[in-house]
Amino acid sequence: MSHTTYDFGMIGLGVMGRNFLLNVADHGFSAAGLDLDAEKAQALEEEAAGRPIMGTTSTAEFVKALARPRRIMLLVPAGKVVDIVIESLLPHLEDGDLIVDGGNSHFPDTERRGKYLKEKGLYFVGAGVSGGAEGARKGPSIMPGGDKAAYEIIRPVLEAVSAKVGEAEEPCVAHMGRGAAGHYVKMVHNGIEYGMMQLIAEAYDLLKQVGGLDNPTMHQVFDQWNKGALRSFLIDITTEILAQKDDLTDGWLVDAILDKAKQKGTGKWTSQNAMDIGIPVPTIDAAVTMRGISSLKAERVAADAILNPQLASAAAVDQAEWIEQMGKALHFAFLVTYSQGMALLTDASKEHDYALDMEAIARIWRGGCIIRADLLEQIRQAYSTAPDLKNLMVSPSFSEDLLATQGAMRTVLKAGIDAGVPMLAFSSTLQYFDAYRSGRLPLNVVQAQRDFFGSHTYERIDRDGVFHTEW
Pick 211 or 368: Cβ nearer ligand 6PG: 368
Q: What part of residues 101-120 is at the interface with ligand 6PG (CB under 6 A)?
A: 104
| Region of 7-15, 212-220, 260-268, 389-397 interacting with ligand 6PG (CB under 6 A) | 260-268
Q: How far is the CB of 20 from ligand 6PG (least distance, A)?
A: 12
| Region of 7-15, 126-134, 386-394, 431-439 interacting with ligand 6PG (CB under 6 A) | 126-134
Q: How far is the CB of 186 from ligand 6PG (least distance, A)?
A: 7
264 contacts ligand 6PG (rule: CB under 6 A): yes
Active-site residue identified among 45, 119, 167, 193:
193
Among 105, 239, 266, 429, binds ligand 6PG (CB under 6 A): 266
226 contacts ligand 6PG (rule: CB under 6 A): no
131 contacts ligand 6PG (rule: CB under 6 A): yes
**Tell me, what amino acid is at 143?**
M
**Tell me, what amino acid is at 157?**
V
Q: How far is the CB of 450 from ligand 6PG (least distance, A)?
A: 36
The sign of the torsion formed by the CA atoms of 214, 220, 224, 227 equals positive
Cα torsion for 8, 12, 13, 17, to the nearest 10°? -60
270 contacts ligand 6PG (rule: CB under 6 A): no
Q: How far is the CB of 365 from ligand 6PG (least distance, A)?
A: 10
- Determine whether 167 is an active site residue: no
CB-CB neighbours of 128 under 10 Å: 30
| Region of 107-115, 127-135, 326-334, 381-389 interacting with ligand 6PG (CB under 6 A) | 127-135
| Region of 54-62, 170-178, 258-266, 337-345 interacting with ligand 6PG (CB under 6 A) | 258-266
Pick 376 or 430: Cβ nearer ligand 6PG: 376
Q: How far is the CB of 89 from ligand 6PG (least distance, A)?
A: 23
405 contacts ligand 6PG (rule: CB under 6 A): no
Q: What part of residues 417-436 is at the interface with ligand 6PG (CB under 6 A)?
A: none
CA–CA dist 435, 283 (Å, integer): 13
Q: How far is the CB of 238 from ligand 6PG (least distance, A)?
A: 15
**Tell me, what amino acid is at 415?**
A
CB-CB neighbours of 443 under 10 Å: 10
Pick 230 or 371: Cβ nearer ligand 6PG: 371
Q: How far is the CB of 283 from ligand 6PG (least distance, A)?
A: 16
132 contacts ligand 6PG (rule: CB under 6 A): yes
- Determine whether 264 is an active site residue: no
Among 56, 110, 130, 232, binds ligand 6PG (CB under 6 A): 130
Total residues interacting with ligand 6PG, rule: CB under 6 A: 13
Pick 79 or 96: Cβ nearer ligand 6PG: 79
Pick 157 or 369: Cβ nearer ligand 6PG: 369
Q: How far is the CB of 293 from ligand 6PG (least distance, A)?
A: 15
CA–CA dist 191, 69 (Å, integer): 35
The sign of the torsion formed by the CA atoms of 95, 97, 103, 104 equals positive
171 contacts ligand 6PG (rule: CB under 6 A): no
CB of 163 within 8 A of CB of 139?
yes
Q: How far is the CB of 226 from ligand 6PG (least distance, A)?
A: 19
CB-CB neighbours of 327 under 10 Å: 22
Active-site residue identified among 40, 111, 186, 202:
186
Query: Which residue in 155, 135, 139 sits closest to 147, CA to CA?
Result: 155
193 contacts ligand 6PG (rule: CB under 6 A): yes
Q: In what order do the strands lie in the sheet with 31-34?
A: 53-56, 31-34, 8-11, 71-74, 98-101, 123-130, 141-146
Contact map string, positions 348 to 387, toward ligand 6PG, x by CB under 6 A:
---------------------xx-----------------
263 contacts ligand 6PG (rule: CB under 6 A): yes
Distances (CA, A) of 303 to 130, 201, 255, 298: 38, 21, 21, 9
Report the residue closest to ligand 6PG, judged by CB: 130
Pick 104 or 273: Cβ nearer ligand 6PG: 104
Query: Which residue in 24, 28, 27, 59 sits closest to 41, CA to CA?
Result: 59
Which residues are at the interface with ligand 6PG (CB under 6 A)?
Answer: 104, 130-132, 190, 193, 262-264, 266-267, 369-370
Q: Which residues are catalytic?
A: 186, 193
